[in-house]
Amino acid sequence: MITKILQNSTKIRILKKLLIIILFPFTILSQNGNTFRIEFNTDFRGYEMNEFNERINDPAFIDTSLYDELSRISLSEGFNFGMSISYRPFKFISLGVYGGYQYGSVKRDLRFVFYQGGNGIPNDTLFLERRYEAQSYNAGLNAKLIFNQMNFWSKYSLLKKIESALNIQVGYGWTSLMTYDSSEDYGNEDFKGYYHAQGVQLTSSFKIGYILTKNNYFSSIGLNLGYQYYVTSDLQAEGGLFFPNNEKTKLDFSGFNIGLYLSIGR
């Protein structure tokens, strides 16, 4: 019995020492008001997919002459969901990492008219929907210049519950494009192809928000406005073929964005 108590006591002391060793760096970093912060964001993004849009509107690529009218379509917008973890080593500068997922899709309605015989009279029509889905996973580093931590901010009482910052992100993205054809007449969906690409992502945004709580742990909610530069490499299938018809095409996610964020910190 005594032996077990001594063994348990020894284990507890070892655990305490390990905890002290693990937490010691964070204890040092937490001095002088330094903080950690977790932030979640979602935003609407505009895309500059000029090259891609030209490809999917090219009748040669659509590979059919059996349509009555070809309406132009455009992949020009999408949504982003992200999260960042940052640490503030200086009063008005924070550094951290981020990750995000963004996507956009566009579809085209096609009508195939079938002819039989030599009289040129159509005898059947098939209605189809062709859909393109582009998505990207991004990750990298972020740095933030925090205006509400600067000395001039505290001089105005109206700004006491307001936070503001300029955020810069530099990262890398892994992108995929999937294409589908579906028919309501037959009630099925046919997966047509999968292509992938990569690229460097640069993002800058201005954030302004309202501080909900400011005790040991604080939270805030706000608005962010920004611009993303993100052009991928050429879309390529697993077999080495480029999109489409082995012609080189890039995805350009560059564009302005607007959205909301929620932060939790210490």
Residue 244: asked if its preceding bond is cis (omega within 30°), the reply is yes
**End-to-end C-alpha distance for the chain, whole angstroms:** 44
Please state, in angstroms and rounded to a whole number, the distance separating the CA atoms of residues 144 and 139.
16
**Per-residue model confidence (pLDDT) at position 42:** 96
pTM for the model stands at 0.77
**Per-residue model confidence (pLDDT) at position 32:** 43
**Per-residue model confidence (pLDDT) at position 115:** 65
Please, what CATH class does the domain formed by 34-265 belong to? mainly beta
Nearest partner of 135 among 184, 212, 197, judged by Cα: 197
**Per-residue model confidence (pLDDT) at position 157:** 83
Backbone angles phi, psi at 32, to 5 degrees: 60, 30
**Per-residue model confidence (pLDDT) at position 96:** 94
**Per-residue model confidence (pLDDT) at position 12:** 54
Domain-by-domain residue ranges, the chain?
A: 1-33, 34-265
**Tokens 């400011």 belong to residue:** 214
**Per-residue model confidence (pLDDT) at position 26:** 43
Chain centre to alpha carbon of residue 127:
33
Q: What is the pLDDT along the chain (266 residues), one digit of tens a residue?
A: 444 334 445 555 655 555 455 444 444 444 444 578 999 999 999 999 999 999 888 877 775 555 555 678 899 999 999 999 999 888 889 999 999 999 999 988 777 666 665 565 556 666 778 889 999 999 999 999 999 888 888 888 888 889 999 999 999 999 999 988 777 666 666 767 899 999 999 999 999 999 988 776 778 999 999 999 999 999 998 777 888 878 889 999 999 999 999 999 86
Beta carbons of 232 and 248 less than 8 angstroms apart: no
